Chain A
Amino acid sequence: MANQIADFFRLKPEEQAVAGAADHIKKFWDPRMKVKMAAHLAHGGDGLNPLALKAATLACKPATGQ
């Protein structure tokens, strides 16, 4: 899904594209999905395209342990 989101924004200048995709993830993903993605990123983010990787990194924070 993150790759698909990134695909929508990929024709924009990179900064805008990353911000757009990250904003979409922030607005529409449940916190546990973001935590799951953060864990995936912590393991290298395998399978994510470069834009999705940057956007997900911006949008998804690791679990706080609460």
Chain B
Amino acid sequence: MSVHTTIDRGTPERQAAQMITLEIDGKSVTVSAGTSLMRAASLVGMDVPKLCATDSLEAFGSCRLCLVEIEGRRGTPASCTTPAEAGMKVTTQNAKLAKLRRGVMELYISDHPLDCLTCAANGDCELQDMAGVVGLRDVRYGYDGENHIHQEKDESNPYFTFDPSKCIVCSRCVRACEEVQGTFALTIDERGFASHVSPGMNEDFLDSECVSCGACVQACPTATLMEKSIIQHGTPERSVITTCAYCGVGCSFEAELQGNTVVRMTPNKDGKANHGHSCVKGRFAWGYATHKERITKPMIRAKITDPWREVSWEEAINHAASEFKRIQKKYGRGSVGGITSSRCTNEETFLVQKMIRAAFGNNNVDTCARVCHSPTGYGLKTTFGTSAGTQDFDSVDETDVMLVIGANPTDAHPVFASRMKKRLREGGKVIVIDPRKIDLVRTPHVEASYHLPLKPGTNVAMVNAIAHTILTEGLENKTFIAERVDTADFQIWADFIRGEQNSPENMAKVTGVPASEVRAAARLYAKGPNSAIYYGLGVTEHSQGSTMVIGMANLAMLTGNIGRRGVGVNPLRGQNNVQGACDMGSFPHELSGYRHVSEDGPRHLFEKDWGVTLDPEPGLRIPNMFDAAIDGTFLGLYVQGEDIAQSDPNTKHVQTALTAMECIVVQDLFLNETALYAHVFLPGSSFLEKDGTFTNAERRISRVRKAIPPMAGLADWEATMALSNALGYPMNYKHPSEIMDEIARLTPTFAGVSFDRIDELGSVQWPCNERAPEGTPIMHIGGFVRGKGKFELTEYVPTEERVGPRFPLILTTGRILSQYNVGAQTRRTENSTWHEEDVLEIHPHDAEDRGIRDGDRVAIMSRSGETSLHARISERMQPGVVYTTFHHPGSGANVVTTENSDWATGCPEYKVTAVEVRPTNRWSQWQEEYEDFKDIALRIGDPKVAAE
């Protein structure tokens, strides 16, 4: 039984200035030029039978079920491939058409198993539906002829099966892989009766190039491609529209359930961020929510070497509150603080920072954006006046040249990457600036016009060389500069950037990229005409992260690529609610809406609303919290939904700091790495278990809706509220919508936002207020938020992290498609099929120099520490650069990374660590100690029993 309510009109919508009126089955309909007859018919309620057509794919015209008659024309054309014309008179239903359709269905069913009652798609099968619609009652040919019915199932993919016996070779899966996902992993092999769907070169799905995005499964009209969860549980009874809890794309999904059991997550066709597409994480990797390691009872312990003791919520909350009060009494008001999470909702994040400012009485609140996109906030606020990306995702449809810097969208933001690849297939161009040969450099039907493989740590040198080229070759947009930017600042900047030190020829010595390539790429970007910058943590996680963000903003203003569709400066946010966590006042220097705590006006507004006096001085950032803990001035920490022990750099330093604290409260789904050092554990709620909102990379605020009750009894916002009340600062929200109402009341850019408004619009992009009641898809149209755009000087300053004889290689870290961040969620799903451990990617030359073979265990040493991983020899890396991920705690990737950080925000320089690599046959000392300590620190139970 299908629970979907969206209508499939068979072919995609067309937008055209010219409108056409025609008649279908006697009903008049007016549609855009280019609209198919099938879609036009659907718009007047006449659904034409179809199998190979679906409105997420271009018409194909293969199934011959959608035949129609057109007055004055011969034959029975397929309505999916026939465009509407003015004055047409179309008949979709008559005896002749019915007979033709029955004949077609007869052929399909003659080679299809008749196991409907036991089929996993029973009740949700388009073939079954169409057999009913055309009135098929018999198959004259019998079932004994040559057929495909006994072909073997491919069950290699952990999430779905491929049953060729049920395939009607409609090519929807093949087309979905091409048109929607852009991977081209599937094809129809052979011809005629032998034609069949082939993953790769007739491989099984798991061994093929398939990225398990689920588009093929979504498109399949039969049970050929079927989710294993549906085979196991049966079809869903109800669905709830919600928002994915993985990356910053923020895909809209329908959580499909049987009772309170989620049986499938289906991408929402009406979702404005994803338009019905998904990736392997959001579509399939949700099983962590009910994983056996989920902790659903509050726990406390006196020492981190004690076993955990399960207690009531009341006891845990009261214990945490009394500990925080004790610490503040002993060490002062500023001795405690907290960390909000980009994995939690806006409402939860707002509440945590409110509790810290109002109940703790200080500004010691920070968020995980500190270690990812804090330079984005600083750089874009400095230049444009607001700390956010400038475009919506749909803007890419009008982009001529994409400049992708330090981002790997196909792995980290796969659904948006599919949109980018679609635009590239339509003729858009891409320039990739990245040390690694990422997929956008060259994959099927994608080839970068230029790949500038710069040395890690030289982004600013590169952006300056590009700007130098544009300015000295007269390619700047003089009109835009005259009208939109502060010309005095521009002149100072222009004098600086024209300097020979910034020329591509001079900077080639720094970046390692030939000047001719840089100049050619700069010309392409400048000439666009619509050029857009997309960037990720390869920009921000550097000692000059903020400078680079400013440099990119300078570049966009220099060429006038800001303030309209198709252009802009677009941070690809790592986690689902990084934008939201920043918006909500999670930084120690800012209240919600990016207003500094020292500004009297905004601070007094909050003081009046909250009934407290707020500290006008900024609080501690996460790295400063660690330093202060070691100094003995910061002893209590509340961490909601973050795993700083795994994700933050220089693990040994972090561990020392956490060990020094007297009370750490961790609120999470699992006993994560930070919980090893915690004294109170508050069980968290997954995104399926609560109401709220997430804000994605395009500033889009989307609803998170409770699909099932919180497994631990309380949603995260309720637990924070209880803690605040126990601390003596009362909070009495009945529902997260009331928290959003407070956010709107106190935050001008959110003034028009409410749950009702979001429900009405589907989602809304801030600013949403009186001036923009339906939100703001594109920012800075006609003027910048700060008035005139500000050019800032961006001198290249080399990082202090240098390679040398002792550490001759540069380590850079990142993520991959199947795992997410610290892996707490994805490691507890079948996604580990693709990535069961972090490996060290190393160039063949570097490997050969060191006697390293593919698969060898290698030691990686930096001035911070040493760990060991298995090596993977890869030419994606340039010589001199090695790469790893940090998805598995035992890998200790951050044991090696250093505390070098961005000058403005303290964002760690994860992308540049000088290391040496050598073969080894053993774990590092840190890894051995970690395993031993983990066994002690994760014990749950009675202390006496545990001690035995």
Q: Mark A24-61, 1 if CB is under 8 A from B, else 0.
A: 10011111110000000000000000000000000000
Report chain A residues within 8 Å CB of B364. 30
Q: B residues within 8 A CB of A10?
A: 795
**Closest A residue by C-beta to B900:** A4
Q: Could you list some 7 contacts between A and B, CB below 8 A?
A: A11-B496, A27-B618, A30-B588, A30-B617, A30-B628, A31-B334, A32-B628
Q: What per-residue 1/0 map shows which CB atoms of B490-501 lie under 8 Å from chain A? A: 000000100000
Asked if A24 contacts B618 (CB within 8 A), the reply is no
Cα–Cα distance between A29 and B619 once the two chains are bound (Å): 7
- Number of A residues whose C-beta is below 8 Å from B? 16
Contact of B624 among A5, A7, A33 (CB under 8 A): A33
Once bound together, how far apart are the Cα atoms of A28 and B598, in whole Å? 11
- Closest chain B residue to A7, Cβ basis: B797
Interface string of A8-20 (1 = CB under 8 A from B): 1011100000000
Report A-chain residues with C-beta under 8 Å of the C-beta of B617: 30-31
Query: In the complex the two chains form, is B795's CB within 8 Å of A27's CB?
Result: no
B789-804 Cβ-contact flags toward A at 8 Å (1 or 0): 0000101010000000
User: In the assembled complex, which residues on chain B have CB atoms less than 8 Å from the CB atom of A4?
Assistant: 543, 797, 903
Residue B468 interfacial (CB < 8 Å): no
Across-interface contacts of B618 in A (CB, < 8 A): 27-30
**Min distance, Cβ B620 to any Cβ of chain A, angstroms:** 5
Give Cα distance in the complex from A12 to B493, angstroms: 10
B residues near A11, Cβ cutoff 8 Å: 496, 793, 795
A32 touches B795 (CB 8 A): no
Which residues on the A side are within 8 Å of B455 (C-beta)? none
User: Is B903 in contact with A5, judged by CB distance below 8 angstroms?
Assistant: yes
Smallest Cβ-Cβ distance to B623: which chain A residue? A1
Option from A5, A8, A24, A30 in Cβ contact (under 8 Å) with B620: A30
A52 to chain B, nearest CB (A): 11
**B19 at the binding interface (Cβ < 8 Å):** no
Asked, given contacts A1-B903, A27-B598, A30-B620, whether A7 binds B795 with beta carbons under 8 Å apart, the answer is: yes
Top 3 A-B pairs, shortest CB-CB distance:
A4-B903, A30-B620, A11-B793
* A28 surroundings in chain B (CB, below 8 A): 589, 618, 621, 904-905
Q: Give Cα distance in the complex from A8 to B902, angstroms.
A: 11
- CA A7 to CA B904, docked complex, whole Å: 11
Q: How would residues 617 to 634 of chain B score, 1 for a CB under 8 Å from any chain A CB and 0 otherwise? A: 111110010001000010
A50 to B598, CA, bound (A): 28
CB-based contact A24/B904 at 8 Å: yes
The interface residues of chain A lying within 8 Å CB-to-CB of B793 are 11-12
Write out, one digit per residue, whether chain B residues 896-919 have a CB within 8 A of any chain A CB (1) or not (0). 000001011110000000000000
C-alpha spacing A6/B490, complex, angstroms: 21
Show the binding face of B for A, using Cβ within 8 Å: 334, 364, 496, 543, 546-547, 588-589, 596, 598, 617-621, 624, 628, 633, 793, 795, 797, 901, 903-906
State in angstroms the CA–CA spacing of A12 and B543 once bound together.
20
Interface hub of B546, B598, B903 (most chain A Cβ within 10 A) = B903
Q: How far is the CB of A18 from chain B (nearest CB, A)?
A: 15
A4 to B596 alpha-carbon distance, docked (Å): 22
- Please determine whether A32 and B903 come into contact, CB atoms closer than 8 angstroms: no
Residues from chain B with a CB closer than 8 A to the CB of A30 are 334, 364, 588, 617-621, 624, 628
A29 to B797, CA, bound (A): 22
CA distance A11 to B792 in the complex (A): 10
Nearest B residue to A12 via CB reads B793
B518 to chain A minimum Cβ distance, whole angstroms, is: 22
Q: Name the residue in A7, A27, A28, A30 with the highest tally of chain B Cβ atoms < 10 Å from its Cβ.
A: A30
Report the minimum CB–CB distance from A21 to chain B (whole Å): 10
Prevailing SS type, chain A contact patch? helix
CB distance from A27 to the nearest CB of B (A): 6
Which residues does chain B contribute within 8 Å of A31, judged by CB atoms?
A: 334, 617
In the assembly, what is the distance between CA of A8 and CA of B382, in Å?
A: 13
- Chain A residue at smallest Cβ distance from B901: A1
Taking the closest CB of chain B, its distance from the CB of A48, in whole angstroms, is 14
A33 partner residues in chain B, CB cutoff 8 A:
620, 624
B residues within 8 A CB of A1? 901, 903, 906
Report how far A33 CA is from B619 CA in the complex, Å: 10
- Given known contacts A4-B903, A30-B618, what 7 new A-B pairs fall within 8 Å (CB)? A7-B795, A12-B793, A28-B589, A30-B334, A32-B334, A32-B620, A32-B633
Residues of A within 8 A of B903 (CB): 1, 4-5, 7-8
Q: When chains A and B are docked, how far (Å) is the Cα of A9 from the Cα of B742?
A: 38
Assembled-state Cα–Cα distance A3/B598 (Å): 24
CA distance A24 to B795 in the complex (A): 17
A7 to B547, CA, bound (A): 11
What's the Cα separation between A34 and B926 when bound, in Å? 34
What is the bound-complex CA distance between A5 and B797, given in angstroms?
11
- Chain A residue numbers with a CB within 8 Å of B901 are 1
B589 touching A27, Cβ below 8 Å: yes
Instruction: Give CA–CA (A42, B364) in the complex, Å.
Output: 27
Q: Which residue of B lies closest to A34 (CB)?
A: B617
Closest to A1 in B: B903
The CA of A47 and the CA of B929, in the complex, are separated in Å by 36
Chain A residue at minimal CB-CB distance from B496: A11
Give complex CA distance A31, B364 in Å: 11
How far apart sit A29 and B904, CA to CA, in the bound complex (Å)?
Answer: 10
Which B residues are in CB contact (< 8 Å) with A5?
903-904
Closest residue of A by beta carbon distance from B363: A30
For the complex, what is the distance from the CA of A11 to the CA of B793, rounded to whole Å?
8
A27 close to B797 (CB less than 8 A):
no
Q: Which residue of A lies closest to B364 (CB)?
A: A30
Across the interface, A27 reaches (CB within 8 A) one of B334, B547, B596, namely B596
| B624 CB contacts on chain A under 8 angstroms | 30, 33
Q: Assess whether B496 is in contact with A8, with CB atoms less than 8 Å apart.
A: no
Chain A residues with Cβ under 8 A from B546's Cβ?
8
Return B793 CB to nearest CB of chain A, in Å. Answer: 5
Give A59 Cβ to nearest chain B Cβ, in Å: 12
Q: Identify the closest chain B residue to A2 (Cβ).
A: B903
Q: CA separation between A56 and B852, bound complex, in Å?
A: 48
Query: Beyond A30-B619, A31-B617, A33-B624, is A8–B589 a contact (Cβ under 8 Å)?
Result: no
B628's closest neighbor in chain A, by CB?
A32
A29 — nearest CB in chain B belongs to which residue? Answer: B618
Q: Name the distance in Å between B751's Cβ and chain A's nearest Cβ.
A: 25
Most buried by B among A4, A5, A7: A4
- Closest residue of chain A to B799 (Cβ to Cβ) is A4
Q: How far is the CB of B19 from chain A (nearest CB, A)?
A: 55
A7 contacts across to B, CB distance below 8 A: 795, 797, 903
Q: How far is the CB of B367 from chain A (nearest CB, A)?
A: 15
Say whether A8 contacts B588, CB under 8 Å: no
Within the complex, the shortest CB–CB distance from A58 to chain B, in Å, comes to 16
CA distance A32 to B905 in the complex (A): 17
The chain A residue with its CB closest to the CB of B627 is A33
**Cα–Cα distance between A5 and B460 once the two chains are bound (Å):** 16
Bound Cα distance from A31 to B334, whole angstroms: 10
- Min CB distance A12 to B, Å, is 7
B795 surroundings in chain A (CB, below 8 A): 7-8, 10-11
CA distance A28 to B905 in the complex (A): 8
C-alpha gap A31/B619 in the complex (Å): 8
Report the Cα distance A32→B621, complex, angstroms.
12
Closest to A8 in B: B903
Kindly report which residue of chain B lies nearest to residue A33, judged by CB atoms: B624
For residue B48, give the distance in angstroms from its CB to the closest CB of chain A.
62
Q: Which residue on B lies nearest to A66, using beta carbons?
A: B332
Is the pair B596, A8 in contact by a Cβ cutoff of 8 Å? no
Shortest CB-to-CB span from B854 to chain A, Å, is 39
Q: Give the nearest-CB partner of B633 in chain A.
A: A32
Complex Cα–Cα for A31 and B793 (A): 28
| Minimum Cβ distance to chain B for residue A29 (Å) | 7
Q: Which residues of chain A come closer than 8 Å to B543, judged between CB atoms? A: 4
